Amino acid sequence: MIAHRSIGRELALLLASSLGLAACSGRVLTLDDTQSPETPSNVDAGPSVEKLPLPDESGSFWVDDTRLYWQTESQWLRSCLHEDCDHTTISYGRALGLVGIGENVIFWSTWGGGGVSSCPKTGCENGALTWVVRDPNGQASAVSGDYYYWSSAFDIFRCPSAGCGEIPEVVARGESPWDLKLAGSRVYWSNIRAAADGVSELSDIRSAPQDGSEGPTTIATISYSYVDFAVDTRNLYWIDQSFQVVSCPLETCQSQSPTPLTSNQPKWGLTVDASGLYWLDRSGGTDVVMHCPLGGCSSEPQALTTGHVLGTWSYGYPYALDSTYLYWQERRGKTGDTLDTRSVRRMRKPTQ
C-alpha cells in the first residue's frame, strides 16, 4: 500500500531532519556509470543493485509486487511488468499523480477539479476508468485493498474503487489528521493539538476500524507535532525529537515509555514492513536509505544505498518497497546533478 503525503508534511519533515546535521559526520558518494562506490564498514557489500530500464522519461514512480508504475514528463501514467518493461507497457491516461495501488486497481489524481479516479491495473480501455470521488479536498490519503481513504479538515472518509457517489463512507468524524497509515483492519492518523501551556503542540496518534464500525481511540500522545510515524499490526514506531526511532506495543503505548531502537542520527521518511524499519538518513548531506530489524539495531543500522544519490519523489518518499525489493531513482555523474529518469534501481531487502 502507498500513502500520499501533502507537500506541507514533506517540508515539515525536511526541516526537522536538518536540525541535527551539524552534530553528525559522514559522507555519501555520488556515482556515475563508470565508478564503483566505496563500501563503508557498516554496509553489507552483498546485495547487488539491478537497473530496470524504462521506455521513456519518468518524473515519479511507484511499485507493487508485479508492476512498476511511473509518470512521464508530460504527466501520462504508465506501467510495465518488472522484468519486461520493453514489451508490456500500459498507458492509463494523464494524471496529476498516482495516489495509491490497490489489490486490483490503481487510484490517481485527475485533471480538472482535483478528483480521484480508479482504473484496473490491466488498463482503462472500454470505459474502465471510474471517478471515485469528485473533489476529495484531502489533507492525506491512503489505499488498502481496493478502497481509497482520505481526510478532510475534520473527518476521515473512504470510497471503493467503483465510487461512492455524493455520499462517501465515514470512517471517523471530528478528526483533523495530517497523515494516514493503514495496518491490518485499522486506520491510524496523527491529530495535532495545543498543549496545556497554550504554546507548544502535541500529537495524538489515533486509530479506528477501516469500516468505521467503532469510534476512534488514542494509541499514544507524543510531546511534539508533525510526527513521522509508522505502524504494523503490533507496534507503533516514530522518530522522536532526538532523531531516535522508538516503538511501543499498540495495546499499551499510552501507558508505557517507548523503547529506543536506533541511534540519534538525523532521519525522516520512516516506513515499516515484515523485513524491518526503513528511513532516510541525511547525516552526510544526501539522503541514504537505512535499515534496522524490528527488534532494534544491536550496533549500527545498515546503510543500503550509500554510493547512490537518490532523486526526489513528488508523492511521498524517494524510495519504495514491495515484498522482496527496495527501489529508488538516483542522480548520476560525479557531481550528482542529473536525475536518471530512464531507469529505476532495486536491490533485495535485508532479512531480519
Residue 38 scores a pLDDT above 60: no
**pLDDT per residue over 243-279, tens digit each?**
899 999 999 999 899 999 988 888 889 999 999 999 9
Cα–Cα dist 197/62, whole Å: 42
Cα–Cα dist 344/45, whole Å: 20
Number of domains in the chain: 1
Show the cell assigned to 291. Answer: 535499515
**pLDDT per residue over 88-107, tens digit each?**
789 888 887 778 899 999 99
Write the DSSP assignment of 72-97 as a string of letters. Answer: -TT-EEEEEETT-TTT--EEEEE-SE
Show the cell assigned to 194. Answer: 495545543
* Range of weakest confidence among 3-12, 25-34, 98-107, 168-177: 25-34
**pLDDT per residue over 120-171, tens digit each?**
998 987 767 888 887 666 678 899 989 999 988 789 999 999 988 778 899 9
**pLDDT per residue over 269-306, tens digit each?**
999 999 999 999 877 777 889 999 999 986 788 999 87
Q: Which residues pair with 188 in a beta bridge?
A: 181, 207
The residue segments making up the domain with residue 278 are: 3-348
Are residues 261 and 246 in contact, defined by beta-carbon separation less than 8 angstroms? yes
Cα–Cα dist 97/99, whole Å: 6
Are residues 334 and 76 in contact, defined by beta-carbon separation less than 8 angstroms? no
Residue 172 scores a pLDDT above 90: yes
> For the chain, what's the residue count?
352
**pLDDT per residue over 191-235, tens digit each?**
888 888 877 888 899 999 999 999 999 999 998 888 899 999 999
Instruction: List the CATH number of the domain containing 220.
Output: 2.120.10.30
